Structure formats: structure tokens, C-alpha cells
């Protein structure tokens, strides 16, 4: 493999680069500088076909991205001074070997296939969103959240997702009137807008209340009732592995931030967005809030085995439809959900808890945690994955019914 090499020039004024497939990294040299890109650090691969002025041929181009290194650009054709160099014959075996190696070393990487202009526009939009979050952070986030909510209450009903939300509401609440379901959907847009803006200062909500009385400036904006305080104290005292399930309700990210505030390490699997700048910023925000993000994907079990130690907490959002999941009953209708959480309960046989965040009218949040919840077991005493998943889902349904306007109805629970 180390003998495979390829020569490419990104643009007419760039130095020609030579790429070699090393044992653990892609080796790059432009005649003066040498650098490398480890295969296991690749998180995004963008692929699209490009054209050159004066040529009718379309050429494949790939961009490999990592969180901490400059992107690597490769293509089957490039403009070499005033001519177009067609290297499709040499490019195909090299890129095939490179993709295979990256797949083995980084199975959770995202592969994006589209148009070059749209991909670049998406990347630019992600960078703009990141800068907006940072700008909001240094201004008045609460005011911006109110402005965003006011806008989305008026714009949301005109979006395509609003019809989907109303369809889901009709399935979940057939007894409610059209006006009631419309009110819930508008409330969902309000909550979603506030949640997005709140990412700007996510790590501060558990620490202090900027608007608190000067004599009580250390008050957290997340209110924990006495029962939940007792549960959290028991988790910290027990020093055991614990598993926590939750849902996309209110600002769900605050659930993950609860454990670090009580000196418990919190692991949270997350799904990468198809936008590198925004994904990187969200990972930074979650890490700053005290959590340990784990990339969801084929290697998630291996990551959990490596990171999940005694005294740690692992939290998962389990309220989304999963095509390859198991069938459970949700709002009286069958749906498919991911059984991974219940399987982890079976593997580790550790205490299981349910937690949620409630958005309050005074600008604060309520945090509730229940448990330990006893999982359903089969005749041999092992955790029954299907029945335990149903037990968790029934708890989520009860919570959604209490505050339906705070749940994410854009998810297609029933298909």
C-alpha cells in the first residue's frame, strides 16, 4: 500500500503535491513541505464532479476533512497551467484504496456526495451560523432568544415541517381539536428557536443566573426539585456506572450537563451533522459544558467500552424513529425505536434513570430525574431488551403529554 502514490495540483498557481498511502496516514509532499493526515482522524469526505472551462469532461474531486488539520483536496483532473491534465486512469485505483483504508480506520466518518457549489454554500452557512452563535454569546442571549422565538412563531407555520408536525400531532392526539394542535405546533417552533440560541451559552445555565438577585447571584437557572436532588446525590455516592434516557424536549442539551455539575462524568453519543464547521462548534460547546461527546456510528459500542467506567454516566436520547429498530407502542401506535439503550442496560446491568428538562415561564428550566428504574427481566433474570425499551418509551410518552409544545414534533415517529 505504501507504494501507491498520486500527483495532483489543486489550482494552476499551487505547487504540485505528491500523495502516498502510508501505513497509518496519508503522506503529502509539495517538494518543500511534508505533512500527513491520519486515516482515523478523517471525519468528513466530500465528493462531487467538477468541470473545467474548455473541456466537456467531468472529473471526480474528493475533499477529506479532520477536526484539527487543513483539508486535503484530490481530483482526477486539474488545470496544469493552460491545459487540463486528465488523470482518471491513475486516480481511480488510488482513491479506491484511500477510501477503503479510511473506511477501516474511521468507520464513523460522514460521506457527502453532491454539487460543489451547494457543498461550499453549506460550509459557508455553517461558518456563518458559528459566528452568529459567538456574537450572541457576547451580547444578550436571552433577548436574542425572545426575538428568534417571536420570528419563528410567525414563520414556522409557513414552513414545510409545520405540516409534518401537524400530521404527527393528529396521530398522537386525535382527541384534540385542529386549533389545539395548531397551538402546540406553534409552541414547538417557539421552543426550537430558543433552544438554538441557547447553545451560545449552554455551559452557563447550570452555573449561575445572570438576572438573579445580587444577594443570590450564584443561583442556577436550572431548578432541581428535592426528589431529583436526592436521586443525584445517590448516583454520586454510589460511584457506579449509570445509564440515563431522555428525549428532545425543551432544551434537551441541559439534561446532559446535569451530571458534570455533580462531579459525575457524562458520556453523550451524538450524530454528526453534514456540516463540518457547525458540527465542530457543537462538539466544542458540549465539551465546554462538561460532557464527553462520542460520535454515533458503527464504532459506538467500542467507544462506550473504552470510555464508560465505574462512576460514569451515559445518556441517550431515545425518542427518534429508527428504521432497523424494534417495534414498540408509542401513543397507541406502533413505531420503530433503537434498542441500543436497553441493550446497554443488559450488558452492564447497571442502574437506569430517566431525566428531562422543562422550560418554565419565568425563563428558568426545571430538571427532573427519576429512578433507579427497574428494567423488565425475562425468566432467566436477564434484561428483556424489547420490554425495557417499551418501559422507557411509555415514560417518554407520559412526559410529552404533560408538555406537548416542548417536544420536537418534526421527527417522524410513525411512518
Nearest to 223 by CA among 356, 361, 365: 365
The set of long-range contacts for 23-26, using a CB threshold of 8 Å and a minimum separation of 24, is 24/105, 26/64, 26/72, 26/98
Distance CA 361, CA 155 (A): 22
- Asked, as a colleague might, if the bond just before 372 is cis with ω within 30 of 0, I would say yes
Tens digits of per-residue pLDDT, 116-149?
544 554 455 556 766 777 777 777 778 888 888 8
| C-alpha neighbours within 13 Å on the C-beta side of residue 232 | 22
Asked if pLDDT for residue 111 goes beyond 90, the answer is no
DSSP string, 31-93: SS-EEEEEGGG--EEEEEEE--TT----EEEEEEE-SSS--EEEESEEEETTEEEE-HHHHHH
Tens digits of per-residue pLDDT, 242-285?
899 999 988 888 888 877 776 777 888 877 766 667 777 777 87
Is 13 strand, coil or helix?
Answer: coil
**CATH 2.30.29.30 domain range(s) in the chain:** 5-114
What does the block give as the cell for 29? 509532499
- pLDDT at position 3 is 65
What mean pLDDT is reported for the chain? 82
pLDDT category at 402 given cuts 50, 70, 90 is very high
Asked if pLDDT for residue 233 goes beyond 80, the answer is yes
- What CATH architecture applies to the domain 5-114? Roll (2.30)
Quick one: average pLDDT of 305-309? Answer: 83
Quick one: average pLDDT of 80-87? Answer: 74
Higher pLDDT, 178 or 256: 178
Asked if pLDDT for residue 401 goes beyond 90, the answer is yes
- pLDDT at position 176 is 92
Asked if pLDDT for residue 217 goes beyond 50, the answer is no
Query: Among 42-46, 106-110, 342-346, 402-406, which is the least confidently predicted range?
Result: 106-110
- pLDDT at position 191 is 92
Asked if pLDDT for residue 99 goes beyond 60, the answer is yes
pLDDT category at 204 given cuts 50, 70, 90 is confident
The C-alpha torsion from 30 through 47 and 67 to 35, rounded to 10°, is -10
Q: Where are the beta strands (DSSP E) in 198-237?
A: 222-224
Query: Among 49-58, 338-347, 402-411, which is the least confidently predicted range?
Result: 49-58
- pLDDT at position 289 is 75
Asked if pLDDT for residue 1 goes beyond 50, the answer is no
pLDDT category at 2 given cuts 50, 70, 90 is very low
Higher pLDDT, 67 or 225: 225
- pLDDT at position 67 is 75
Phi, psi of 21, rounded to the nearest 5 degrees? -90, 100
pLDDT category at 219 given cuts 50, 70, 90 is low
Phi-psi region of 297 (alpha: psi -120 to 50; beta: other; left: phi over 0): left
- pLDDT at position 214 is 41
- pLDDT at position 400 is 94
- pLDDT at position 15 is 77
- pLDDT at position 378 is 86
Quick one: average pLDDT of 208-235? Answer: 70
Strand order in the sheet with 5-8: 5-8, 17-21, 25-29, 34-38
Phi, psi of 414, rounded to the nearest 5 degrees? -120, 130
Asked if pLDDT for residue 44 goes beyond 70, the answer is yes
With contact defined as beta carbons under 8 Å apart, do 5 and 20 qualify?
yes
Neighbours of 389 (CB within 10 A): 26
Quick one: average pLDDT of 278-297? Answer: 77
CA distances from 392 to 47, 240, 388 (A): 40, 21, 6
What does the block give as the cell for 68? 484539527
Distance CA 150, CA 136 (A): 16
Asked if pLDDT for residue 215 goes beyond 50, the answer is no
Q: Where are the beta strands (DSSP E) in 187-262?
A: 222-224, 242-246
Asked if pLDDT for residue 390 goes beyond 90, the answer is yes
DSSP 199: G
| C-alpha neighbours within 13 Å on the C-beta side of residue 171 | 18
Quick one: average pLDDT of 336-344? Answer: 90
Is 179 strand, coil or helix?
Answer: helix
Report the chain's C-alpha Rg in angstroms. 25
Asked if pLDDT for residue 198 goes beyond 60, the answer is yes
Amino acid at each position: 500500500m505504501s507504494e501507491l502514490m498520486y500527483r495532483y495540483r489543486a489550482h494552476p498557481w499551487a505547487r504540485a503535491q505528491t500523495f502516498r498511502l502510508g501505513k497509518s496516514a496519508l503522506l503529502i509532499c509539495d517538494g518543500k513541505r511534508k505533512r500527513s493526515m491520519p486515516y482515523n482522524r478523517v471525519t468528513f469526505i466530500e465528493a462531487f464532479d467538477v468541470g473545467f472551462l474548455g473541456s466537456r469532461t467531468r472529473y471526480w474531486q474528493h475533499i477529506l476533512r479532520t477536526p484539527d488539520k487543513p483539508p486535503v483536496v484530490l481530483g482526477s483532473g486539474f488545470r496544469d497551467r493552460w491545459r487540463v491534465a486528465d488523470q482518471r486512469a491513475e486516480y481511480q485505483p488510488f482513491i479506491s484504496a484511500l477510501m477503503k483504508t479510511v473506511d477501516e480506520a474511521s468507520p464513523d466518518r460522514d460521506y457527502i456526495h453532491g454539487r460543489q457549489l451547494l457543498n461550499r454554500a453549506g460550509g459557508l452557512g455553517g461558518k456563518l451560523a458559528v459566528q452568529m452563535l459567538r456574537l450572541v454569546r457576547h451580547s444578550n442571549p436571552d433577548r436574542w432568544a425572545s426575538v428568534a422565538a417571536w420570528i419563528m412563531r410567525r414563520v414556522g407555520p409557513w414552513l414545510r415541517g409545520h405540516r409534518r408536525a401537524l400530521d404527527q400531532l393528529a396521530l398522537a392526539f386525535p382527541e384534540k381539536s385542529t386549533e389545539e394542535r395548531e397551538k402546540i405546533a406553534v409552541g414547538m417552533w417557539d421552543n426550537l428557536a430558543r433552544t438554538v440560541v441557547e447553545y451560545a451559552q449552554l455551559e452557563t445555565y447550570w452555573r449561575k443566573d445572570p438576572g438573579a438577585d445580587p444577594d443570590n447571584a450564584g443561583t442556577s437557572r436550572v431548578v432541581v426539585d428535592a426528589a431529583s436532588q436526592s436521586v443525584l446525590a445517590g448516583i454520586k455516592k454510589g460511584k457506579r456506572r449509570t445509564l440515563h434516557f431522555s428525549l428532545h424536549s425543551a432544551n434537551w442539551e441541559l439534561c446532559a450537563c446535569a451530571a458534570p455539575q455533580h462531579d459525575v462524568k457524562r458520556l453523550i453519543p451524538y450524530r454528526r451533522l453534514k456540516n463540518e464547521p457547525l458540527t465542530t462548534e457543537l462538539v466544542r460547546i458540549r465539551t465546554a459544558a462538561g460532557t464527553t461527546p462520542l460520535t454515533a456510528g458503527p464504532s459506538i459500542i467500542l467507544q462506550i467500552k473504552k470510555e464508560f467506567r465505574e462512576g460514569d454516566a451515559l445518556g441517550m436520547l431515545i425518542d427518534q424513529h429508527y428504521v432497523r429498530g424494534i417495534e414498540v407502542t408509542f401513543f397507541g401506535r406502533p413505531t420503530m425505536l433503537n434498542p441500543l439503550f436497553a441493550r446497554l442496560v443488559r450488558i452492564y446491568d447497571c442502574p437506569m434513570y430517566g431525566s428531562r428538562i422543562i422550560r418554565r415561564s419565568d425563563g428558568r428550566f426545571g430538571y427532573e430525574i427519576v429512578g433507579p428504574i427497574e428494567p423488565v427481566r425475562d425468566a432467566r433474570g436477564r434484561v428483556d431488551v424489547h420490554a425495557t425499551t417499551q418501559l422507557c418509551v411509555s415514560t417518554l410518552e407520559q412526559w410529552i403529554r404533560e408538555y406537548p409544545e416542548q417536544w420536537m414534533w418534526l421527527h417522524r415517529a410513525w411512518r
